[in-house]
Every structure is written in structure tokens, then in C-alpha cells.
Amino acid sequence: MVFSFLRKLFGQTPKPESPEITGLIKISGCENLQRKGDIIFVHGLGGHARSTWHPQELANDDNFWLMWLAQERPDLGIWSFGYNAAPFEWKGATMPLFDRASNLLEYLTINDIGKYPIIFVTHSMGGLLVKEMLRNAQTFNRQSVIKQTKGIVFLSTPHTGSHLANLINNIGTLARTTVSVDELKSHLPQLRQLNEWYRQNVDAMAITTKVYYETKPTKIVLVVDPDSANPGIKDVQPTATDDDHISITKPKSPDNLVYKGVSRFIKEQLLNIPEEPENQSPHISSFYIQRPEIENNCYQNIVQPGALIRIKSPRKMGKTYLISRIFHHIKQKGYRTVSINLWSQENLTDLKTFLQRFCAILSLELGIEDQIEKSWSSRLGNQDNCTNYLKKYILPAIDSPLVLGLDNIDEIFPYPEITQQFSALLRAWHEKAKTEEIWQNLRLVIAHSQEVDISINLNQSPFNVGLSVEIAEFNTTQIKELVKQYSLSFSDTEINQLKEMIDGHPYLLTTALGEIAKGNFTLSKFLEIAPTNQSPYGKFLNFYVSELEKDKLLKAAMQQVINSDIPIQIDSTQALKLRSLGLIEFKGNEVQCLCDLYRLYFRERL
């Protein structure tokens, strides 16, 4: 039975022996110098560059979805990466993941991948391979691949490992497993570390993630369970399929859910990508409208010893982009930068876990050997241990200032103890720079949306010191500039209509202009559907409906605002909360709804 199962999982695909089926294989459109992008398929354990993606597992037949995609999009280059990923040594030796990642990166380089936008479509271990390749590219400054990677599709990728690898390893008395199987074991620390790196860097690299996972067992085993298939990227909801681990890569027709979803994902990521401005950082969106006064203040402040910058604005207003610009600016001066995102639930179970993982991420990102087990003393408190770790192992190991970016730090606010203790640490490190030279090299950039309403000692808070920066909505001039970036031509009347519907909110604007530029609808159609169930903002708006439903007082205050056509006075506490959500604007001591989108949408749903 065991071998029957393994044949089902690995056994019938042809062994990659000829040069044509290993390396980066050209499927279609790869010689087109005017192509709009490159789509690269990467198979998993026991896979094959062609048969993995074919419904009958045929290696020499063109009736499969890579060719369907080529026929649908002749303006794209379609590639498939073939490599030896045998599960057992009798089928051939395999490379460790790190080595295979450098091998893939070299294949991309020699084939000039990086001149055009890239989408990776990956299965199982192939998703881990692409993540490791991007980490290699970051480490060795191969920026073209990072800059051009616009999206990754993960098909049943075991981001935290697969229980199947443990099962296969347990039958090692029957057949010796390869390193490829060993590196897929469930909850392997290296896989958790790789996934943590991806979660930390995916926003800065401006890569969009799409996730599909299997729901049917292969024989008797669910190879990758839903938890492991979920990389934990904020606002990315994995999609379940009626497939097992094998069939998920083998759509039988262009009507298949995975095929149609991947096709649409490619269209959304690659169409109408504007030209990058010269000398633009690869981590900075092309749609960012410069705010010279804010940026220059940040640039001048961050070079000061022990600097602390606090960026506050509602969701999706440009905080992350501003941090990216600050990082890009100071990297030119030789500073080191690290973005920290430890806000997932598994990191927030208790203070010790949180601070140890904070130190682990710092060590990993800076290439410093992890000394946590050795240095964490049971005789000291967790705050003291964390401070000593930075002072003894992190700051002395670098010869330039370190800028630490803490985006969306308000994600820890629901955890009062961690919020209070970590806030006190940040404030203490900032204060130490006034008297201790080693701490002057630590600079902090903190970004948050919510008001800080947790009880924090004013003398232990980082939210009332340093440079305070608030990002406002775009004004009419900036909106016109953004419209030009999308190669659109709107009259002043149309600009005003757009502004009345969504004001100058950066995310609302870029979403609307992107959809209009793609030809998905006209401006008039957009104005018609924006506040309805057909809205392109459905997920964004429903988040706010959910937040308002959680708080009766906040909901009541918002109902007052949307039911009034003129500015009104409401409770000051609720007004501050609504402004932190970006739903209102102040008019003196009064408030009004930010835009018609919110007024019309919430009137029907609150």
C-alpha cells in the first residue's frame, strides 16, 4: 500500500534526463522582445517541468494549461523550471534548498529574466524554492529579479512543512530519502524562518501573493493541510479547491477554478504597469506621489543619533511607502535597515516569545549568528534580556547606523502586556542614545493607524517623543498628477466627481484609476458601482463595517455622521477613533464623512 501511494504521489512522471527538461524551459513567447512579462512555473517534490502541469501527466503533449495560457496571452513569455527533486536516493541525488535556489537564480540571470515583470506559479516545494531564491537575490543584491517579481501563486505549498515528509522519512528502512524530503518535514525551524522572512519582506518587495490549497486527500493523506498552505500574509485569503495534492496542478479545461484564477491574477498584476521613474528604489511603488515637506523632514531627522520617527495615518494611506522611501534614502548613506513584522498571533502568545523572536529576526536580517539560547538569562527579566542582546550582539556587530522599521505596530495593541512592555523598551532605547554612544546607532521608524488608547506610562511611551508625521489625503493637484501616471485624461469636472466619491485617499484612488486604466469600466460606471455590492472596494469596506459593529458607541457616532449632510459635533473620543480609521475629517470642532463612498455604503449596512 505504501508504494502504491508513493507511485500515486511521485512515481509516474518521466525522469528528467535530457537537457530539454531540466533548467529553465521555454514553453512559448520567450523570444518576443516586446513581451509584457514572464510567467515561470516551478514544480515541487518528484515533479517534472511539463508533466506536472498536464492533466494526463504527459511530457510531450501541448494540450495543457501552460499552452492554454500562451494562446490566451501571446504577449507573455511562458517558462517552466525543471530540476531534480526526487524523494528517494535511488531516483537520483538532489540539492539542498539553498543550493537549488542559487541554481534557479543563475538560470534566471543567464536567460535575462528580470528585464520584464515576473509572475511565479509554484507547486508544493516549488513555492519554498522561489521564496529561498528571492532571499538569495536580496542577500547578494540581485535587484532586477526582486524588482520585477510582481506576484507569486502558491499551489499547496507547505510553508511550515508537510506531515507527509515525516511519513516518507519514517519508511527510510525501505528506501533512503533525499535532502529534499528532509527539508520538508513539518514544523522544521528552517521553513518557519524562511516563511517569517517572506512575511517580513513581501510588502517592501511589492510582491502580491495568491494562495490555493487542496481539500482532498491523496490516497489517504492530506499532503499539505490548510494551516501549512497559508503563508500568513496580511489581507491574503487562501482559496480552497476541490483537488488533491496532485490534481491541483492539472486543470482539465480552461474553465477550471485554478486556471481561471491564475489567468486573472496575471492580468491584474501585469497589465498597465507604468514606467518606473529613474533612480527609483525597487521597493517603492510607482504610484507614490511625493510629499517633499514630509519626506525632507524625515530624511533630516533619521540621520540624527538615536532618532525616532512616528508615522500615523489611517489604513492604506501610504505609511509603508514612506518607510520605503526613508529606507531607500539612508541606504545610499551606508545605513543598515531592517523591517520588523511580528504581529501574527503565534508571536504574541507571551512577552518572552515575542521578544526572543524579535531578536531572532534582527539576527537573521543582519546576518548575525543567533545567540538567543546562550544569552537569555533566567535571572533577568525579558526586557533586560532583549536590551542586553541588542547591546552585546547586534549593535557592536555592525559598523553603521541601524534603522529599524516597525510598520503597523498597532497590531499589538490588543495585547496590553506586550504593548506596554515593548513600548517601554522602544522608549528606553531612544532615551539611552542621549547618554550611551552605542545606542546612538539605533534609529526607529514606527508606523500605526489606531489611536494609542492603551494605558501606557507617558514616560515609557515612544508615541509622544521624536518626530511626529501624519499622512493626509491627496489634494486636487496631487490627484491630477496621479491620474497622469495612469495615462488617463480627466476633465476638472470628472476630477471633482472622483474626489467627491473617494476624496484623496491613496488606496481608493489607485484602485479606481487602475481598474479604469485596465478598461474594466469607465469613470461613470465606477461612480455608479463604487458604493454597491459590485464595488471593487468590497473587502476594504467590509473591514470597516466589521470594526464598527464591534463597538456600539463608535457605530452610533458613525451613523450620526453619515445621516447628516452638514458637519456636526460628536463625542470627541469617538471622533478621534473614526478619524484614525480614516472615515471622517475634522471641520473645526465638527466632523463630516470623508467621502460619498463611505456615506452611501454605510447607510445601507449599519
> DSSP letters along 347-414, please?
G-S-HHHHHHHHHHHHHHHHT----HHHH--TTS-HHHHHHHHIIIIIGGG-SS-EEEEETTGGGGTT
Per cent of the chain over pLDDT 70 is 87
The residue among 270 and 361 whose pLDDT is bigger is 361
Least confident of 170-184, 284-298, 317-331: 170-184
pLDDT surpasses 80 at 66:
yes
Cβ atoms of 8 and 246 closer than 8 Å: yes
**Cα distance between residue 101 and residue 595, in whole Å:** 48
CA distance 402 to 369: 17
Give the cell for residue 430. Answer: 531612544
Note the maximum CA span of the chain. 77
C-alpha cell at 508: 481608493
b/e sequence 141-178, b meaning 16+ C-beta within 10 Å: ebebbbbbbbbbbbbbbbbbbbbbbebbeeeeeebebb
Task: Output the pLDDT for position 392.
Answer: 94
What per-residue confidence (pLDDT) applies to 170?
A: 44
Indicate the range of 220-234, 401-415, 496-510, 577-591 predicted with least confidence.
220-234
Residues whose CB is less than 8 angstroms from the CB of residue 451 and which lie 6 or more positions away in sequence, other chains included:
576, 577, 580
What cell does 110 get?
Answer: 543567464
More confident residue, 18 or 482: 482
Tens digits of residue pLDDT in 177-204: 444 444 445 556 788 888 888 988 888 7
**Residue 351: CB partners within 8 Å, gap ≥ 6?**
382, 417, 418, 421, 422
Whether residue 448 contacts residue 236, with contact meaning beta carbons closer than 8 Å, is answered with: no
284: pLDDT strictly greater than 60: no
User: What separation in angstroms does the CA of 562 have from each of 85, 569, 571, 578?
Assistant: 58, 12, 15, 12
**Alpha carbon distance, N-terminus to C-terminus of the chain:** 57
Q: How far is CA 575 from CA 68, 141, 582, 592, in A?
A: 53, 46, 10, 10
pLDDT, one tens digit per residue, over 142-158 is: 888 998 999 999 999 98
Average pLDDT of the chain, as a whole number: 85
Backbone angles phi, psi at 240, to 5 degrees: -80, 145
The Cα–Cα gap between 412 and 344 comes to 9
pLDDT in tens, 522-538: 999 999 999 998 888 98
Walk me through the domains of the chain, giving residue ranges and CATH numbers.
2-270 (3.40.50.1820), 292-470 (3.40.50.300), 476-603 (no CATH)
**pTM recorded for the entire structure:** 0.61
Which residue carries 537520483 as its cell? 92
CB 598 within 8 A of CB 562: yes
505: confidence class by pLDDT, cuts 50, 70, 90? very high
Question: How far is it, in rounded angstroms, from Cα 119 to Cα 154?
Answer: 11
Percentage of the residues of the chain whose pLDDT score is greater than 90: 50
Using pLDDT thresholds of 50, 70 and 90, give the confidence band for residue 281: very low
Task: Name the most confidently modeled range: 155-169, 243-257, 320-334, 357-371.
Answer: 243-257
